[in-house]
Amino acid sequence: MTLTRDQRLPAWSAVTPGRLAHIERVAALVEEWARRMGVPDSDRSRWLRATWLHDALRDAPPATLARWAPDAVVPAELRHGPASAACAEAQGEHDRAVLDAVRYHSVGHAGWEIPGRVLYCADYLEPGRPFDRERRRELAERFPDDPAGVLAAVAADRIAYTVRSGWPLLQPTVDLWNSLAVASGSR
């Protein structure tokens, strides 16, 4: 599946204007990071495909989400990731790293390659979100120099929010956190 800069979202996407603005901010942040990190165009393309696909079905009707992700073991609010990945795959996206980035962008995934890690951070750190702006801006600025450290900080923030909200931690989230703790040498 190829998404050009002109095409951006796939024809099957279902997004509101507000959601499109969010996706555009995430894409701008990913573009900036790719430029600052000097990543090859092929990697940048993968990062951006994941970015443009991650919320492609965020505003789709529940029936569409259920059709594309009938076995997703996530709350209804999070079904858009698995549904978008399944639809993208059916439409020709076969890069496993891109599909995993899209599928797990809301919950995390221990087995992510760099596209998933980049998307998870950029989705959280994009400047349009109204909370904790200064901290998120600092993390976004630091990402190109310390992607592992920023990923751990973003995961900690997202997990803390989930706990404060009284929602259960899903297994992929727990697995991501445990993999980050092991990688950092924590016990």
- Per DSSP, the residues of 127-164 read TT--SSHHHHHHHHHHTTT-HHHHHHHHHHHHHHHHHH
For the chain, the distance separating the N- and C-terminal CA atoms, rounded to the nearest angstrom, is: 41
| CA dihedral of 172, 174, 179, 185, whole degrees rounded to 10 | 170
pLDDT (tens digit per residue) in 8-54? 899 999 999 999 999 999 999 999 999 999 999 999 999 999 999 99
How deeply is 37 buried, as exposed, middle or buried, from its count of CB atoms within 10 A (0-12, 13-18, 19+)?
A: middle
pLDDT (tens digit per residue) in 80-128? 999 999 999 999 999 999 999 999 999 999 999 999 999 999 999 999 9
For tokens 């990923």, the residue is 151
Q: pTM of the prediction?
A: 0.93
Q: What is the pLDDT of residue 184?
A: 75
Q: Grade residue 7 by pLDDT with cuts at 50, 70 and 90.
A: low
Q: What is the pLDDT of residue 5?
A: 42
